[in-house]
Amino acid sequence: MTAFLDLLDGVLEAAMMLLALAILMALVALVVLYVIDVTQNSQAIRKNYPVIGRLRYVFEHLGVFFRQYFFAMDREELPFNRSQRAWVARAAKKLDSTIAFGSTKPLNRPGDIFFLNSAFPPTKDEIKAHVLAPLIFGESFVREPYAAPSIFNISAMSYGALSGPAIEALSMGAATSGVWLNTGEGGLSPFHQTAACDLVFQIGTAKYGVRDDEGNLDVEKIAELAAIPQVRMFEIKLSQGAKPGKGGILPAEKVTDLIATTRGIPPGEDSISPNRHPEVTDADSLLDLIDRVRMASGKPVGIKLVLGQTAWLDNFCGAIQARGLASAPDFITLDSADGGTGAAPQSLMDNMGRPVTSSLPLVDEKLTSAGLRERIKLIASGKMVNPAGVAAALCLGADVVCSARGFMFSLGCIQALQCNENTCPTGITTHDPKLQKGLDPAVKADRVANYAISMREEVELIAHSCGVLNPQALSRQHAFVIDDQGQPSPLGHEIVTVKSVRS
């Protein structure tokens, strides 16, 4: 017993010494910080309130992560509120998506879109008997047209912006749910080909994956890609909703050896794309580029852009009419001004371009008046992660809707806003192996598939409530928009003040 007490005394004495040492070191550290703060001149808060003033920067940093949990209401966060993210999470995990008691969505918020229910919706038997015609891209105009099996697909996200495990999960989930996966502008990586999902190969302004040593378009590489059965279409990217007028940005810390090989660039250097295709200067040269890609691939070719100025559209339609329908792009992807990205200047992300709720009906009308609407399919993308957003885009004229961040949420994204820092805590947008360990592609693939399937089911539910047999039959007569006075207004290109379709 005495020996035990002696041992205990020794342990306590050592603990007290360690505690005293820790306190002494803390005091020394405080003195050092105090001296540093009062002698520096770059930050007034630290100089006027030494040591304590540093807490401001700590709380400012932590606020990014904790604000959404403790302070934000369900429908007030940006870019996506808790209600939107929660629906995606429930859909991805196949949880009950019903709510009780009543909606928390206000009915008079300007820009919100609501749907007009039918007095006589179709019955289950009528819906079951209905056979939906496939949506065919490039029919009669390319050697290998593409019959798209889904109206909701995965938008452009490149390997580089996303991690390998994230792309792998998207590939497997896309194959299971029958949706296509857009490669983004970073080229075709092995992760895109993990499963036999349909792929849309995007050609960005830097032409990653299809460039020669000088950075010019290499049609032989396009032909090689087109020989891969999974590659169904090619998309020429003109601009992106989050940064129109500027090329893609991939920070050097995210340019690994494999990413560099996939893109055809040096590793460890910033990957910055030009702000446009150098050879495209007008409508005719754009049609020339489309023709080059289509001739080399034999597959449907479209363009992606965020709409800003519109005068060029008239010239574009006129050039197609002069050349003939065969010269037209097989589809146009309209990105929204509130689209997402891994990295972009805030001045462009906040202020440049038209929202898709404005551009969709405008382009739809211009193509219709030019007699080109049947020839050119319209794809909408940009902040449509819930069924209401997708259904609204279909009402506004879209044939297909694509989402990027919706599928990121299905992978487990928590909107940490760290995409450009290579520190994504969920492993989705980082190339840090330690952080990627948390993302199991097999598990996340199921959630990707569940999300896509649930989205289609609920968009169909909205369509049936509107009185039509399938979502492709939705039109502007099935919805209205809340105007600036909080009153319902017909859906059309007049809604230029709408920033997004909020759910």
Do the domain assignments include residue 495? no
- For range 393-403, the mean pLDDT: 97
Residue 82, in any domain of the structure: no
* 271 plus 216 within the same structural domain: yes
Is the same domain home to 361 and 445? yes
Structure tokens at 481: 């928009």
Do 294 and 173 belong to one domain?
Answer: yes
Rounded mean pLDDT, 342-371: 87
pLDDT at 165: 94
> Do 164 and 221 belong to one domain?
yes
The per-residue DSSP string of 260-328 comes to HHHHTS-TTS-EE--SS-TT--SHHHHHHHHHHHHHHH-S-EEEEEE----HHHHHHHHHHHHH-GGGS
Across the range 432-436, mean pLDDT stands at 90
What are the backbone dihedrals phi and psi of residue 440, each rounded to the nearest 5 degrees, phi first?
-90, 110
- pLDDT, position 73: 59
pLDDT per position as a tens digit, 51-70 = 888 887 777 666 666 666 66
> Confidence class of residue 501 from pLDDT cuts 50, 70 and 90?
very low
Please give the pLDDT value at position 243.
73
What ranges in 93-218 are assigned the alpha helix state H? 124-129, 164-177
CB 242 within 8 A of CB 349: yes
Q: Is residue 305 part of a domain?
A: yes
Q: How many domains does the chain have?
A: 2
The answer on 132 and 57 residing in a single domain is no
- Within this chain, do residues 26 and 168 fall inside the same structural domain, yes or no? no
CATH number of the domain bearing residue 209: 3.20.20.70
Residue 71: the pLDDT is 58
Q: Check whether residue 59 and residue 193 sit in a common domain.
A: no
The predicted model gives 413-442 an average pLDDT of: 88
pTM of the shown model: 0.85
Q: Is residue 105 part of a domain?
A: no
Q: Assess whether 214 and 331 both reside in one domain.
A: yes
Determine, yes or no, domain membership for 371: yes
Q: Are 249 and 342 in contact (CB under 8 A)?
A: yes
Mean pLDDT over residues 453-466, rounded?
Answer: 97
Do residues 67 and 120 share a domain? no
Instruction: State whether 47 and 168 are in the same domain.
Output: no
Among 47, 71, 95, the domain boundary falls at 71
Handedness of CA 186, 189, 194, 195 (dihedral sign): positive
pLDDT of residue 472: 95
77 found inside a domain: no
CA-based R_g, the chain, Å: 26
Given this model, what pLDDT does residue 284 score?
A: 97
Tell me the residue range of the domain where 8 lies: 2-71
Residues 357-369: what's their mean pLDDT?
A: 95
pLDDT at 67: 64
Place of tokens 């891969």: 228
> Is the pLDDT score of 496 beyond 60?
no
For the stretch 179-234, pLDDT in tens is: 999 999 999 999 999 999 999 999 999 999 999 988 899 999 999 999 999 999 99
Helix (H) or strand (E) holding 147: strand 146-148
Cβ atoms of 16 and 23 within 8 Å: the answer is: no
Q: Does residue 11 sit in the same domain as residue 145?
A: no
**pLDDT number for residue 79:** 78
Mean pLDDT lowest among 41-50, 87-96, 185-194, 370-379: 41-50
Please classify residue 98 by burial: count the beta carbons closer than 10 Å to its beta carbon, then call 0-12 exposed, 13-18 middle and 19+ buried.
exposed
Residue 85 lies in a domain: no
Mean pLDDT of the chain: 89
User: What gap in Å lies between CA 290 and CA 443, rounded to an integer?
Assistant: 39
In this structure, the answer to whether residues 240 and 302 fall within a common structural domain is: yes
Which tens digits make up the pLDDT trace of 89-101? 999 999 988 888 8
Q: What is the pLDDT of residue 64?
A: 63
Tokens of 326: 């065969």
Residue 498 is predicted with a pLDDT of 37
In contact, 182 and 234? CB cutoff 8 Å: no
Domain-embedded: residue 149: yes
Q: What letter would DSSP give residue 500? A: -
